[in-house]
Structure 1
């Protein structure tokens, strides 16, 4: 399975609560701290919903 490195590059402060919960579900705790996740369809769907807040790199 491929892995993705996900980094938050924009603040979630003025975002809807649902997007904040998606950030939390991805395991992102702070800005500019990368998190490695396995690219499952569920994870890719979460990333697609908040892609304006993230930088995604394939490992």
Structure 2
């Protein structure tokens, strides 16, 4: 595994009717549908996207191993 720290992000609210910029953030994180979960590397760019749409997400630390 890589030594980069990751977080697990799950889309828990719908993207329909949201601002285009917020939809773009979700797509940028790799989220396409409800209840989809992705592991994201904690870079400043990714964390900015997570913070922008935190009301749509559930965020937890990824389990290593």
TM-score, normalising length: structure 1: 0.94
Which residue of structure 2 aligns with residue 13 of structure 1? Answer: 16
Of the two, which has the highest radius of gyration?
2
Structure 2 CA distance for aligned equivalents of residues 21 and 49 of structure 1? 11
Which segments of 5 or more consecutive residues in structure 1 lack a partner in the other structure? none
Which segments of 5 or more consecutive residues in structure 2 lack a partner in the other structure? none
Q: How many matched pairs?
A: 59
Q: Supply the RMSD in Å over aligned alpha carbons.
A: 0.7
Structure 1 CA distance for aligned equivalents of residues 38 and 26 of structure 2? 11
Q: Secondary structure at the match of 2:46?
A: helix
Structure 1 segments, 4+ long, off by >3 Å, are none
Highest RCO, 1 vs 2 (Cα 8 Å, sep ≥ 6): 1
User: How far did residue 36 of structure 1 move?
Assistant: 0.5
